[in-house]
Amino acid sequence: MSSIRPFRPGDEPALAEICLRTADAGADATGVLADDDLWAEIFVLPYVARHPEWAWVVQGDDGEPAGYLVGAPDTDAFEEWFAEAWWPRFADRWPRPEAETTRQDGILLYAYGRRPGAEPFSTDHPAHLHIDLLPDLQGQGWGRRLIDTYVAALREAGVTGLHLVADANNAGVIGFYPRLGFAEIPAHEGVRAFGMAL
């Protein structure tokens, strides 16, 4: 029986694999970039390194992680840590590209550009999240349960708002978030952003 549990050290490889298998607008991103590891080092592993207490895992029937939600209650503080402590470790492996000539270049430029205030969403919605579920778990209510778990914890901690950003090509999620109480908020080209007051 699938269930939600808190993140545990040792989950990192499974979460990285889930991230990779859902990173291409919800589809498998294996081989999309020159280096498959890049997805997880930006979108999931820094979260469990910085805020393991704000991470939950959906454990499948076989006991293995099959989905997750990771978050940061203070986006600006997280982005400062990402820019100063997390990302510099990868400068030799993934140097900053001169221009965006490939999709990997674009993702690297995003990573190098992360900093407090780089996105406007945290002003009114200070917390943010990333959520991914393998296809076998999608459509069964696990996304809603993960978000409900996170929202309850944020409210208990006194956090006043939450946002998330989705690939504009990920049609499967665009209709999902408004059903959970999120409202669409202005975003830049290529993404859709959603916010919720807590």
- Give the domain ranges of the chain: 3-159
**Mean pLDDT per 10-residue interval, the chain, length 198 residues:** 94 98 94 98 98 97 94 98 98 96 96 92 95 92 96 98 89 83 89 94
CATH 3.40.50.620 fits 3-159, yes or no: no
Q: Do 43 and 17 form a contact (C-beta atoms < 8 A)?
A: no
3-state helix, strand, coil in the chain (%, to 5): 40, 20, 35
pTM: 0.95
Dist. CA 47–CA 50, nearest whole Å: 5
